[in-house]
């Protein structure tokens, strides 16, 4: 097996992470996350699953065109159409392109999902790898559900995959079933039992169903794996994936245990990357999460505070400054000009066009008039709002609400549709509810609010409030709307209107996931018409 002191970091935030319910990102959001992942220093970015939709194809292609540095990877089932789509999407990446093909190998998957024999599985895998090699030199193969696959069959299919041209062999714990000791033993088994393993890199991909994804990944690295796959903040299907920031900092902090293994990660970018992914995905980081949670370096106990003040290392095993905590630059003010704003946005990782900068500058001035300082997190919220702008069927012209203790909450909303200006007013359970109902009546779209969250972007009474809503318009999918303002009611109204406008864009021309998978020959549950989740 190709082996060294270097652990390759494979980020699948934009593919496996985005499969998390409610975490879907627009193509422009994916591009900004990819830019930040490149700044972070990941070795491979799995940019998406090109065949699954036209949007995913376009997103992977755009990332392949615009992102320099990391290898760009596209996922594909062992189907000719999948591989063709991945190859075409990755073409702009040139020699940095990688196709990642996967096929289930465990008994339960072979017998109940694929209904195929061992010989058929091996044939399909070999044919797919050879097909992928016709597009790229770098092909990764994953035997899906590898940790529940019979050892003799796993050894055989890995050997055949490498012989067919696979340059990376990834061992997925697809359902988060294994334990650290078991997983380490499986990695050792592969190293000893696959005669041609020296021709490929051995990788691992763990899910967190039992809360062991990071522990399993680290155990595999100790056993000899030299690529680790995961996501920022551990987002992903079901309970999520292994959190890359935790793996990286474990390797760095406990070099004594891991034999001095290194990654190419620029640790000072970790916190910034975590926050960007949280905002773009709408999945907030829990306060007590390791490394990137708000409480990761907070000390409330008097004994702890006293110890940290005397010597930081008494209760902190990592330097918070080294991973990006406390790195905010001097804030801008309403007197700052376009050049200062553009320079700061570039430093934060945003690549905005001249037109976008101009549009953002007006909003920046509005915020500057309302609060003394505009911090980095404020700028990130404003930039996110700019890059996720969509074609608006309805534009907000005016809103007002009235509420009082024991009073009746009322709202009036005025929207513009083309040359027509429409106004409605009414009551609701609260001021925000009343405004949303007015929007429903004007637009004719009646959404059911499934999730509503508001978060202060920065500290202080004048902080920008960022509102995220997830709305069901009765079409079999949830649509997300987001907006930010120093006025929480305004942010709520704009976020809901954003979701309404998205419903008009997707109406009638965006197939459901089941339709997409079915039309492309994917695995669909015949009882529920729901596609079987793409893994590893």
Place of tokens 């809901």: 496
Average pLDDT over residues 382-407: 87
Domain ranges of the chain: 8-281, 297-327, 338-387, 395-506
Is it true that 8-281 and 395-506 share their CATH fold? no
Which residues are CB-neighbours of 142 under 8 A, at least 6 positions away?
100, 101, 102, 103, 169, 170, 171, 172, 205, 535, 536
As a whole number of angstroms, the distance between CA 27 and CA 71 comes to 18
Which CATH superfamily, name and number, covers 395-506?
A: Alpha-isopropylmalate synthase LeuA, regulatory domain (3.30.160.270)
pLDDT at 21 over 90: no
As a whole number of angstroms, the distance between CA 266 and CA 248 comes to 10
CATH number of 8-281: 3.20.20.70
pTM score, whole prediction? 0.83
More confident residue, 359 or 459: 359
Place of tokens 């400054």: 321
Answer yes or no: is 299 a known binding residue: no
As a whole number of angstroms, the distance between CA 399 and CA 56 comes to 36
Tell me which H or E stretch contains 415. Answer: strand 410-417
Answer yes or no: is 487 a known binding residue: no
| pLDDT-derived band at 476, boundaries 50, 70, 90 | confident
Q: What is the pLDDT of residues 420-443, one digit of tens each?
A: 999 999 999 999 999 999 999 999
CB 399 within 8 A of CB 492: no
CB 252 within 8 A of CB 261: no
CB 223 within 8 A of CB 187: yes
Q: What is the pLDDT of residues 215-272, one digit of tens each?
A: 999 999 999 999 999 999 999 999 999 999 999 999 999 999 999 999 999 999 999 9
Answer yes or no: is 16 a known binding residue: yes
Which residues are CB-neighbours of 420 under 8 A, at least 6 positions away?
none
Q: Are strands 448-456 and 465-472 parallel, antiparallel or unpaired?
A: antiparallel
SS3 at position 531? strand
Q: What is the pLDDT of residues 400-421, one digit of tens each?
A: 999 888 889 999 999 999 999 9
Closest CA to 481 of 22, 14, 58: 22
Beta strands in 167-310 (DSSP E): 168-173, 201-206, 227-230
| pLDDT-derived band at 310, boundaries 50, 70, 90 | low
Q: What is the pLDDT of residues 328-376, one digit of tens each?
A: 566 788 888 888 888 888 878 788 888 889 988 988 888 888 887 888 8
Task: Using the CB atoms, write b or e for 462-500: b if 16+ within 10 Å.
Answer: ebbbbbbbbbbbeeeebbbbbbbbbebbbbbbbbbbbbb
């Amino acid at each position: 097996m190709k082996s060294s002191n270097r652990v390759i970091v494979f980020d699948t935030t934009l593919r496996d992470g985005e499969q998390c319910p409610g975490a879907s990102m627009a193509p422009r959001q994916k591009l900004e996350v990819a830019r930040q992942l490149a700044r972070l220093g990941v070795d491979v970015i799995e940019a998406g699953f090109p065949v699954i939709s036209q949007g995913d194809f376009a997103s992977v292609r755009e990332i392949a065109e615009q992102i320099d540095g990391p290898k760009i990877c596209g996922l594909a089932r062992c189907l000719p159409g999948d591989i063709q789509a991945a190859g075409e999407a990755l073409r702009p990446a040139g020699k940095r392109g990688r196709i990642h093909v996967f096929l289930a190998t465990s008994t339960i998957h072979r017998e109940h999902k694929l209904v195929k024999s061992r010989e058929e599985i091996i044939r399909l895998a070999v044919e797919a790898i050879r097909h992928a090699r016709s597009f790229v030199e770098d092909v990764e193969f994953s035997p899906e559900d590898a940790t529940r696959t019979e050892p003799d069959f796993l050894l055989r299919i890995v050997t055949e995959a490498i012989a067919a041209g696979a340059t990376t062999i990834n061992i997925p714990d697809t359902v988060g079933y294994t334990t650290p000791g078991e997983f380490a033993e499986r990695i050792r088994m592969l190293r000893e039992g696959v005669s041609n393993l020296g021709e490929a890199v051995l990788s691992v991909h763990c899910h967190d169903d039992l809360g062991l994804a990071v522990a399993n990944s680290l155990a595999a690295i100790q056993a000899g794996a030299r690529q680790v796959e995961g996501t920022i903040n551990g987002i992903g299907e079901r309970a999520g994936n292994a959190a890359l920031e935790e793996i990286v900092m474990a390797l760095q902090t406990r070099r004594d245990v891991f034999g001095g293994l290194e990654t190419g990660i620029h640790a000072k970018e970790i916190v910034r990357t975590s926050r960007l992914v949280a905002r773009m995905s709408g999945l907030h980081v829990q306060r007590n999460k390791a490394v990137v949670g708000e409480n990761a370096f907070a000390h409330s106990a008097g004994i702890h505070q006293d110890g940290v003040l005397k010597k930081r290392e008494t209760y902190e095993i990592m330097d918070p400054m080294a991973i990006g905590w406390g790195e905010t630059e001097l804030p801008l003010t309403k007197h700052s000009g376009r050049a200062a704003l553009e320079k700061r946005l570039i430093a934060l990782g945003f690549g905005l066009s001249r037109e976008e900068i101009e549009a953002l500058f007006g909003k920046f001035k509005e915020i500057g008039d309302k609060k003394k300082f505009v911090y980095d997190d404020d700028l990130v919220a404003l930039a996110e709002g700019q890059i996720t702008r969509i074609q608006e069927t309805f534009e907000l012209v005016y809103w007002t609400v009235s509420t009082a203790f024991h009073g009746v909450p009322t709202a009036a909303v005025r929207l513009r549709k083309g040359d027509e200006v429409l106004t409605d007013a009414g009551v609701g359970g609260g001021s925000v509810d009343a405004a949303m109902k007015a929007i429903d009546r004007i637009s004719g779209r009646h959404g059911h609010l499934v999730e509503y969250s508001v978060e202060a972007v920065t500290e202080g009474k004048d902080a920008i409030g960022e509102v995220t809503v997830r709305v069901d318009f009765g079409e079999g999918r949830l649509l997300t709307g987001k907006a930010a303002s120093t006025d929480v009611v305004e942010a709520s109204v704009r976020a809901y209107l954003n979701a309404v406008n998205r419903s008009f864009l997707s109406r009638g021309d965006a197939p459901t996931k089941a339709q997409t998978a079915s039309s492309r020959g994917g695995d669909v549950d015949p009882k529920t018409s729901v596609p079987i989740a793409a893994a590893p």
